[in-house]
Structure 1
Amino acid sequence: MKKGIHPEKYRFVVFKDMSNGTEFLSRSTASSSETTTFEGVEYPVIKLEISNTSHPFYTGKNVLVDTAGRIDKFKKRYAQKK
């Protein structure tokens, strides 16, 4: 490996999926002012909106989108006022 191309602050952090509460430990250079306890040790925590534990591609669960309701809302919003 080349020297001097990798970040200096490479450390363990806990990533927390906010949609289902799953936490996993990995290494990262991301900074965080919040901490959490993971398996008895305190680590910085990075909050994620979605991860492989909640994404439909990885879980195999399809998300149903209410297209009919969305179309009705659009038509109502942009209907010409009489």
Structure 2
Amino acid sequence: MKPGIHPAYRPVVFRDKVGDLAFLTRSTLTSDRTVEWEDGRTYPVIDVEISSASHPFYTGQSRVLDTAGRVEQFRRRYGDRH
């Protein structure tokens, strides 16, 4: 690999607050927020909206995901047709 052109690949914690799941992996993503992991070290943390702990396919439970007002945006665009 050519030096100096690739992003830094470092340990990062991904956390799903809804599913109460966090896992440590490596990624090029960065974050200003940090969390202390089980090994006592501090890692950047990335919060995700959905993971295997909260996805309906894996949990068998349905839930409504309304990120950034998608339902309201749909209703404004197409109206409330009953």
| TM-score w.r.t. length of structure 1 | 0.66
In the TM superposition, what are the counterparts of 1:22-61 in structure 2 within 5 Å? 22-39=21-38, 40-59=40-59, 61=60
Structure 2 residues not aligned, in runs of 5+: 65-79
Identity %, equivalent residues: 45
RMSD over equivalenced CA pairs, Å: 2.4
Give the number of equivalent residue pairs: 65
Structure 1 residues not aligned, in runs of 5+: 66-73, 77-82
Larger Rg: 1
Structure 2 distance, partners of 1:22, 1:62, is: 16
Point out 4+ residue stretches in structure 1 off by more than 6 angstroms: none
Structure 1 distance, partners of 2:63, 2:19, is: 18
Matching residue's letter, 2:56: P
| TM-score w.r.t. length of structure 2 | 0.66
